[in-house]
Amino acid sequence: MRDFPSCFGESGVQVADSSSSASRNGQNPVTCLYQAQLSGRACVITITWSKNLMGQGLTVGIDDSANQCLCKVDIKPWFTKRKGSKCLEADNSKIDIFWDLSGAKFGSGPEPLECFYVAVIFDFEMALLLGDLTKEAYRKTSASPPPSDAVFIAKREHIYGKKIYFAKAQFCDNGQYHDIAIECDTVGLNDPCLEIRIDKKRVMQVKRLAWKFRGNQTILVEGLPVEVFWDVHNWLFGSPAGNAVFMFQTSQPAEKLLPWSSSQTFRESQSPGLGFSLILYAWKNE
C-alpha cells in the first residue's frame, strides 16, 4: 500500500500527498489490493481504476512479499484499449494480463460494475480474476484455476459531498455490501458533529469535533468488530480544498496500527486473518 496514508499514530491519521494531487488534477482513482499466490509465492496485486477528462484507465501492479515491484502495466485511455492483453517476464516467470472492458457497465465511479473481466495469469495459472465474465476469461486465457482464490484486503477511494458522503463496502469475504454514510456539517457551526451510518443505522457519533478531530472507535457490522479511524483536521482548520480521511479496519488489533507505516502494513496485510481495510478520502464540494 505504497501510497495509502503514511501512518496512523497517536495523533491520528496523516494523509498522503499523492491523494491530494490526484484529486486536484481532476482524477478520481479507486485502488484495490488483493492477496494472491504466484506459483505458491505470496504477492499483492494492486488494481487502480481511474477516470478523468481524457477518459478512463486501469493500472495493474504486482508486488512480492518483500514489497518489491515485479511488474506494473498502465492501460489507458480505454477508448483505444478496451480489450487486449499484455505479456511480461519477471523472475524467469511469465505474467499475462488480459482484459475485456468493451461492454463494461459503470456507475458514477471509475470501477466497472458488470459485463467485464480483468485476469492476471502467472505461469499459465489464474492468479486474479475480476468481473462477471468468468467463462469468457478462462476461454480466452486458457489458464488453469488457482489452488486458492485471491483475497480482497484493502481499498482506497475518493468521495465527494457538501454535508453527506456516501460509499459502499463489503467487510468480509462473501458478506453483504453495506451502504456507508458519513455526515458532517462544518459550515458556520461552533460545535460541529460527525456521524457515521451503516445501512441507514447510526453506528457512531462524535460530538465536540473541534477537540476530537482525530480519533478511533470500534463499531459492529454483521457482528464483526470494525475499527473506524478519522481525521477531519483539514475540514475544520485547513484550506478550503483540504480533505478528511476515514479508515474502516476489520480484525486487526488497534495496537498494531501504532505506529503504522505504509510499507509495514503492506507486508502485514498479507498475513492471514488481518482482515480488510477501506480508506476514504472525503472532499467537500464548494
Give the distance from CA 209 to its chain's centroid: 26
Q: What is the pTM of this model?
A: 0.79
Helix, strand, coil: what percent of the chain each, to 5? 10, 50, 40
101: cell is 472492458
Q: Quick one: CA torsion of 220, 221, 225, 230, rounded to 10 degrees?
A: -80
Instruction: Map residue 102 onto helix, strand or coil.
Output: coil
- Whether 117 and 132 have beta carbons less than 8 Å apart is answered as yes
Q: How confident is the prediction for the chain on average, in pLDDT?
A: 80
CB atoms within 10 A of CB 94: 12
Instruction: Map residue 263 onto helix, strand or coil.
Output: helix
For the segment 162-169, the average pLDDT, to the nearest whole number, is 90
Q: What is the pLDDT of residues 36-82, one digit of tens each?
A: 988 778 889 999 999 877 778 899 999 987 778 888 888 876 666 78
Residue 65: per-residue pLDDT? 76
Residue 13: per-residue pLDDT? 36
Q: Provide the phi-psi class of 248: left if phi over 0, else alpha when psi is between -120 and 50, else beta.
A: beta
CB atoms within 10 A of CB 285: 8
Q: Are strands 277-284 and 151-161 parallel, antiparallel or unpaired?
A: parallel
Q: What is the pLDDT of residues 137-165, one digit of tens each?
A: 999 999 999 888 888 999 999 999 889 99
121: cell is 495469469
Q: Band the pLDDT of 231: cuts 50, 70, 90.
A: very high
Distance linking the first and last C-alpha atoms of the chain: 30
Task: Report which secondary-structure segment, H or E, holds 22.
Answer: helix 17-24
Q: Band the pLDDT of 107: cuts 50, 70, 90.
A: confident
Backbone angles phi, psi at 256, to 5 degrees: -75, -15
| Whole-number Cα distances in Å, 50 to 171, 181, 225, 229 | 23, 23, 31, 25
CB atoms within 10 A of CB 17: 9
Closest CA to 55 of 94, 10, 101: 101
For the segment 87-92, the average pLDDT, to the nearest whole number, is 82
For the segment 4-10, the average pLDDT, to the nearest whole number, is 37
* Residue ranges per structural domain of the chain: 7-15+159-284, 41-146
pLDDT over 70 at 21, yes or no = no
pLDDT over 50 at 258, yes or no = no
Identify any residues that bridge with 220 across adjacent strands, giving them in sequence order. 225
